[in-house]
């Protein structure tokens, strides 16, 4: 752990800051004291600069690692599919078949409709999210320090301005983006299966209803307010649940890593804690991937449900 020039708080802040690229507005005072006379596209040197870059800033580390893990997932499963045999399967084929069967069983039990998209989407979510979560078990300083070494020795960057987060699911931009994609599919299939009128009726005629048309008309605003909140809560809870759990787990790893700078005995104690937490964290990263998949299947099933029971 490289904490020679960092305090505990700055070490934590450094590990929680993304490698962000975006446009700094004119008049921005940078960490070295210079003031920009015109807008500048650059890498942020602090979390404050990243915040000033606004909506179009890109977390390069999050994007890069998530795309890399997605590619690994794709090529791994594709290679198994191309070389699959009906004879004695290898360990990799056994593992992939077990995962596919596990996903198919969950889809069959929770989604009693016909849609060729749901099972592949559930499989992608389960494995991709698991891979992203799994990065939390990599030694916390290993990849960030390797990136810093490259940036300093090759690019001549200031080591204090080089950031790199390797766990994409600790970035709400990733978790909420995935949740929004699921939400768009929910809206699309809800309207396709129920019609726009049926979808709006679902939002405005429940949970309060009455056979009296005048009374029902009075209920519509209250029903819409309740059901709209319930609808919007789906992507928000889906994305924030994954982010919150993974962010908390990452924070614990960071706090444990600080113990290595407290001497030999504290270092040994910290190593023991880190091992125990890593073993427990295997359950967390698996459970969070599973929950994200299950909720996606359930929400898709609700989009197809045209019954009147709510």
- State the virtual CA torsion across 290, 171, 77, 126 in degrees, nearest 10: 10
Q: Which entry of 210, 230, 237, 272 is annotated as an active-site residue?
A: 237
Instruction: Bin 8: left if φ > 0, else alpha if -120 < ψ < 50, else beta.
Output: alpha
In the predicted model, what is the mean pLDDT of residues 157-183?
Answer: 92
Task: Specify whether the CB–CB gap between 167 and 133 falls below 8 A.
Answer: yes
In the predicted model, what is the mean pLDDT of residues 212-224?
Answer: 85
Instruction: Tell me the C-alpha distance between 61 and 9, whole Å.
Output: 22
Here the tokens at position 224 are 């819409």
**136 secondary structure, DSSP code:** G
Place of tokens 């989604």: 111
User: Which pLDDT score is estimated for 243?
Assistant: 96
Instruction: Tell me the C-alpha distance between 60 and 132, whole Å.
Output: 15
Task: Specify whether the CB–CB gap between 197 and 172 falls below 8 A.
Answer: no
Q: Which entry of 161, 190, 204, 245 is annotated as an active-site residue?
A: 245
**Cis before 263 (ω within 30):** no
Q: Which entry of 241, 261, 286, 301 is annotated as an active-site residue?
A: 241
Please say if the pLDDT value at position 278 is more than 70: yes
Q: Which of 40-44, 215-219, 238-242, 269-273 has the lowest mean pLDDT?
A: 215-219
Mean pLDDT computed over every residue of the chain: 90
Instruction: Tell me the C-alpha distance between 227 and 224, whole Å.
Output: 5
Task: Judge whether 230 counts as a catalytic residue.
Answer: no
First to last CA, the chain: 53
pLDDT above 70: percentage of residues in the chain: 97
User: Which pLDDT score is estimated for 180?
Assistant: 96
pLDDT above 90: percentage of residues in the chain: 62
Band the pLDDT of 168: cuts 50, 70, 90: very high
Q: In whole angstroms, what separates CA 35 from the centre of its chain? A: 35
Band the pLDDT of 6: cuts 50, 70, 90: low
Q: For residues 4 and 117, which has the higher predicted lDDT (pLDDT)?
A: 117
Burial of 276 (0-12, 13-18, 19+ CB in 10 A): exposed
User: Which pLDDT score is estimated for 297?
Assistant: 96
Distances (CA, A) of 230 to 19, 136, 291, 294: 35, 32, 18, 18
Task: Specify whether the CB–CB gap between 309 and 118 falls below 8 A.
Answer: no
What pTM did the predictor assign?
A: 0.89
Please say if the pLDDT value at position 309 is more than 80: no
Instruction: Tell me the C-alpha distance between 231 and 209, whole Å.
Output: 19
pLDDT in tens, 219-261: 888 889 999 999 999 999 999 999 999 999 999 999 998 888 8
Task: Judge whether 241 counts as a catalytic residue.
Answer: yes
Task: Judge whether 245 counts as a catalytic residue.
Answer: yes
H helix intervals, the chain: 8-15, 47-52, 60-83, 91-110, 118-134, 142-155, 172-204, 213-257, 264-304
Instruction: Tell me the C-alpha distance between 273 and 140, whole Å.
Output: 14
Radius of gyration over every alpha carbon of the chain, rounded to an integer in angstroms: 24
Band the pLDDT of 38: cuts 50, 70, 90: very high
User: Which pLDDT score is estimated for 2?
Assistant: 46
Beta bridge partners of 43: 21
Q: Show Cβ contacts of residue 27 under 8 Å, excluding neighbours closer than 6 positions.
A: 35, 36
């Amino acid at each position: 752990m490289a904490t020679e020039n960092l305090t505990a708080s700055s070490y934590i802040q450094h590990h929680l800051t993304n490698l962000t690229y975006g446009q700094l507005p004119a008049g921005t005072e940078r960490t070295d004291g210079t003031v920009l006379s015109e807008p500048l596209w650059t890498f942020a040197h602090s979390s404050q600069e990243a915040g000033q870059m606004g909506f179009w800033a890109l977390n390069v580390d999050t994007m890069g690692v998530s795309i890399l893990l997605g590619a690994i997932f794709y090529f791994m499963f594709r290679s198994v599919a191309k070389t699959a045999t009906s004879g004695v399967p290898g360990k990799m084929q056994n593992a992939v078949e077990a995962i596919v069967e596990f996903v198919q069983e969950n889809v069959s039990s929770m989604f009693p409709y016909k849609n060729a998209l749901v099972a592949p989407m559930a499989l992608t979510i389960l494995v991709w999210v698991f891979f992203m979560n799994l990065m939390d078990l990599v030694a916390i300083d290993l990849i960030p320090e390797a990136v810093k070494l490259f940036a300093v020795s090759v690019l001549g960057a200031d080591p204090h301005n080089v950031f790199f987060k390797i766990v994409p699911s600790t970035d709400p931009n990733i978790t909420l983006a995935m949740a929004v994609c699921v939400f768009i599919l929910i809206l699309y299939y809800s309207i396709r299966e129920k019609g726009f009128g049926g979808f709006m009726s679902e939002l405005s005629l429940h949970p309060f209803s009455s056979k009296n048309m005048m009374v029902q008309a009075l209920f519509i605003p209250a029903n819409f307010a309740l059901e709209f909140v319930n609808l919007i809560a789906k992507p928000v809870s889906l994305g924030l649940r994954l982010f919150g759990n993974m962010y908390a787990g990452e924070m614990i790893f960071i706090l444990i890593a600080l113990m290595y700078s407290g001497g030999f005995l504290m270092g040994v104690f910290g190593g023991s804690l880190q091992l125990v937490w890593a073993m427990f964290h295997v359950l967390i990263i698996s459970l969070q991937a599973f929950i994200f998949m299950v909720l996606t299947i359930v929400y898709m099933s609700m989009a197809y449900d045209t019954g009147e029971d709510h």
